[in-house]
Structure 1
Amino acid sequence: MYFFEWGCWKMQLEPEEARKDDHKLEKKLGIKRDLPFESEDDEEQVAARACVSQTPKARGPVYVFNDTVLEIRSGMFEAKRGLISILSCALIIFITTTTATATVHLARSINELLNKKIIPDIGLLLVLLLYFTIAAVFSWFYLKYGFRFTRLEMFTSRHLLIRFNRKTQQVYLHRPSYCGGIVTLPWKGVTSSGASEKTAIAGGIGVPLFLYWSPRVTGTLHPESAWVGKAGNNQAELRDEWEFIRRFMDEGPQGLPRPRITSHFPWPWQAFTPQFEGLTHYFRRASRTTKVGLLLICPAFLIIGLGHWLSLLLCWKPRWPKLIRQAGLPGKPIPPLTTLADRPPHIQERLRANAHLWAIRPGKRPEKKLRARPKKTESKSN
């Protein structure tokens, strides 16, 4: 499910008029936008170069692993896809069935009129007109407002991917165009939620490993980010995964445990097992009552799993551009880093207009001045 990436991309392109309500809400709640400083960004980048685990491990799913390339599934909530697919298919089936039923009866009435000279019943014609009207109205609303959400799970790339190329020292993100598209980023300058406790997110429970490139690194006036692999059960798992990626890029694959390679073919278990990613922590510590409750809602996991599999079946295998596929091979060119000029003109305009929202402040964050406590006046005794 690409809802998170789609929302982030839309937010980066959001016009100022659409942000007025957000500004009013922030003022009402007393929320102040706090932009990071260069020194803080530098510290996080330095932390990302340090060793954080002695047990590096790729939790996967890993699609490619060799001397040059490491490719892992990416995306926040990508493993939880399924519900949108079920709702979309139900609506598509309803529209198709309604249209087909009305068309069959209309064709039969026309055939009887031409061959047997039987005049169709007025009531039947009104019912058919109602069927066509309902199908047309639902189709219009779906194509105008609903299809954009369907494409977050169906009729699109089967997975979001992140590819690490050790020889070119680049990272490639594979996303649909409506989620930011395919971009080429430098390895140097990345920060990670697995690199330190300061950058950790929610203790690593229920979220994948998070990678981030600040606007200072991307050169596109906006930050780039990626959620890598499976959701974690604790911060230690994310540290192990980050250390695996760091060692691969900085030192090479020698000495790293070879990960299990996952196929892009949509096998059924690839749809059902992700439903439990990041939940082992809760299963182990859950009370007996909670475990019984989880057993009772197993049919819901089954339904979502079926929707997930349906989504995989109705998507296609993601394919990298030839330049990226050949990157790192002898005699092949190194892909250029993505810049603002690579975007369409209207996208460039929106990114320039919103650049101040993600800008990095120069220098170091000033120290907070301690407020002097007022001296207590001694009460005079009478």
Structure 2
Amino acid sequence: MFTGWYVPFKLNRPLESAERHAALPFHPQPGVIPDTYGSLIHFNSTYTDFIDRKDRLRGMVSTTAGLVGIIVAIIMGAFSIGLFMVDLLQGNDVLINMAFSILFLLMVIGFIWFTWSRQLKKDMFTYTHYPIRFNRKTRKVYVFRHNGPNGVLTVPWDEVFWHIGRGMQQKYLCDVRGHVMDGVRVKDTFAVGQYFDDGQIGRIQATWEFIRRYMEEGPETVAEHPLDRLIDKSVTPSWTNCYLWVGASMGPSFVALRYVLFPLFYPIVGLLTLGRWLTLNSCKDPVWPPEVEAECQVEPNDPNRWEEPSYLWEFANRPGVVERNEERMRQQSENLKG
């Protein structure tokens, strides 16, 4: 799950044979309907922006557990100091208690440092999201890393080796992945959009087909139906967005049992929502450098500028949208089976 984030991509290596066999095509994929599955955040005639692979896990279980662990450790550390102060005021033999308190405090400090350095600092006080931009006019891909010098990887679209990437620990997790090559060696790597298990590899193909059509055929070709011209994803770090994302991450089976398991369901959802909200609100917005913005100017009356939601799945309330989504997924499934 943490490939390319907690666990860095392997670089400065030759291309693997499995990656060659997983290369994504630049020709149309028969039966694949373009879709972004919650990965798209901006769309117009000049460029389109996607979130990167780690967006799904931002502020979720690992970060929330780390935050809770640090809070508990601080409370226990304060309690240890309090006990020592009571012994000191009562004139008790404090040497043993002092030694114990110092040892315990060192353990608390070590735990906090370990949790922060190995996990929290990669998620909190960073950026609300890490966009990847496809500019069809300049035929460039911009990968946001940080605000500041050399904070954006810029690479020509035609020079990226695109393939279906797999997780480094969980091999069954797949994503749209790009390698920047230096001859036959992998110089840099990034992943675009949501990841899915290999039982849903059709979603990876659909995401790629959306990107491929946009860059190769134009913005008018990515939506096969007027109701497909919608953006689901909102990157605003609001409580509503965090709650909706956590609820969706629980999975339909768990959500269906929420009234039966409400003593368990709602505390978990509430805690994870709080963890994601705290994480994203500790972060700042990504800012593209001026030279990128200069290359990505959008016409004022661009007919292909898609409306952006103020919260996740806002447009699902519009007439026909849910039915069209169900129809598209059914067609996608039938086409891939055929």
Q: TM-score range by the shorter chain?
A: 0.5 to 0.7
**Aligned counterpart, 1:265:** 236
The corresponding residue for 2:42 is 64
Query: CA–CA distance in 1 between the matches of 2:259 and 2:178?
Result: 35
Structure 1, residues 309-332: CA drift from partner, whole Å, max 9, x if none?
3322333323333332333349xx
Superposed CA RMSD in Å reads 4.7
CA distance in 2, matches of 1:323, 1:104: 56
Matched, 1:169 2:148: no
Q: CA, structure 1 residues 317+80, in 2 after alignment: closer, same or farther (shift >3 Å)?
A: closer
Query: Match of 2:56?
Result: 78
1:138 pairs with 2:108: yes
What is residue 6 of structure 1 aligned with on the other side?
5
Distance (whole Å) between structure 2 residues aligned to residue 102 and residue 321 of structure 1: 49
Instruction: Give the aligned partner of residue 315 of structure 1.
Output: 283
1:192 alignment partner in structure 2: 163
Change (3 A) 1:12 1:165: same
So what's the TM-score if we normalise by structure 1?
Answer: 0.56
SS in 2 for 1:86: helix
Shift of 1:265: 2.0
CA distance in structure 1 between the aligned counterparts of 2:48 and 2:30, rounded to whole angstroms? 19
Deviations 1:141-184 (A, max 9, x none): 4325642311233222222322111122111222469xx96422
CA contact (8 A) 2:52 2:130 kept: yes
> Is the contact made by 1:65 and 1:71 (CA closer than 8 Å) also made in structure 2?
yes
Q: Distance in 2 between matches of 1:35 and 1:85?
A: 32
Distance in structure 2 (CA, Å) of the matches to 1:294 and 1:165:
46
Q: What amino acid does structure 2 have at the position aligned with 1:242?
A: W
Which amino acid in 1 is paired with 2:105? A
Shift of 1:253: 1.5
Matched to 2:134, the amino acid is F
Deviation at 1:70, TM superposition (A): 0.9
Distance 1:57 1:87, change over 3 A: closer
Give 3-state SS (helix, strand or coil) of 1:6's partner: coil
**1:167-205 deviation digits (Å, cap 9, x = unpaired):** 22111222469xx96422221133233xxxxx899xxx9
Contact 1:48-1:190 within 8 A present in 2 as well: no
Cα 1:123/1:49, change in 2 over 3 Å: farther
Instruction: Return the offset for 1:226.
Output: 0.3
**One of 320, 326, 350 as aligned partner of 2:294:** 326
d(CA) in 2 for partners of 1:56, 1:96: 49
- Aligned residue for 1:44, secondary structure, equals coil
Q: Distance in 1 between matches of 2:172 and 2:17?
A: 26
Letter in 1 for 2:112: Y
- The percent of aligned pairs where both chains have the same amino acid is 20
Deviation at 1:240, TM superposition (A): 2.5
SS at match of 1:238: helix
Structure 2 residue identity aligned to 1:222: K
Measured at CA, do residues 57 and 226 of structure 1 come closer, stay the same or move farther in structure 2, by a change above 3 Å? same
Which residue pairs with 1:36 in the alignment?
17
C-alpha contact 2:166 2:172 (8 A) present in aligned 1: no
From the superposition, tell whether residues 58 and 269 of structure 1 become closer, same or farther in structure 2 (CA, over 3 Å).
same
Structure 1 CA distance, aligned partners of 2:118 and 2:295?
33
| More divergent stretch after superposition (5-14 vs 55-64) | 5-14
Which amino acid in 2 is paired with 1:184?
A: T
Q: Match for residue 93 of structure 1?
A: 71
Question: 1:273, 1:230 → 2: CA distance?
Answer: 18
Q: The residue matched to 2:242 in structure 1 has which SS?
A: helix
- For residue 187 of structure 2, what is the aligned residue in structure 1? 222
- SS across alignment from 2:5: helix
- Asked if structure 1 preserves the Cα contact closer than 8 Å seen for 2:12 and 2:186, the reply is no
Check the 8 A contact 2:195/2:204 in 1, yes or no: no
Question: C-alpha displacement at 1:71, in angstroms?
Answer: 0.9
1:62–1:73 CA contact under 8 A, matched in 2? yes
In 2 relative to 1, CA 159–136 (structure 1 residues): closer, same or farther, beyond 3 Å? same
1:141-290 aligned within 5 A: 141-144=111-114, 146-175=116-145, 182-188=152-158, 189-193=160-164, 207=173, 209-213=175-179, 215-216=181-182, 221-229=186-194, 231=196, 234-255=200-221, 256=223, 257-260=228-231, 262-275=233-246, 276=248, 283=253
Higher strand share: 2
In 1, Cα distance between the equivalents of 2:18 and 2:10?
A: 22
Give the unaligned 5+ runs of structure 2.
299-338
- The one-character-per-residue Cα deviations of 1:214-259 (angstroms, maximum 9, x if unpaired) are 5347x97535130413647733333332222111112222243433
Query: Deviations along 1:109-141, whole A, 9 cap, x unmatched?
Result: 9xxxxxxxxx94333966577546533442134
TM-score (norm 2): 0.62
Q: Does the 8 Å contact 2:6/2:119 carry over to 1?
A: no
Give me the whole-angstrom Cα distance separating, in 1, the residues matched to 2:292 and 2:220. Answer: 23
2:4 corresponds to which letter in structure 1?
E
Change (3 A) 1:308 1:140: same
Post-superposition Cα deviations, 1:79-128, rounded to whole Å, max 9, x if no partner, equal 3742222232223324544566678899999xxxxxxxxx9433396657
Q: Residue in 1 aligned with 2:324?
A: none
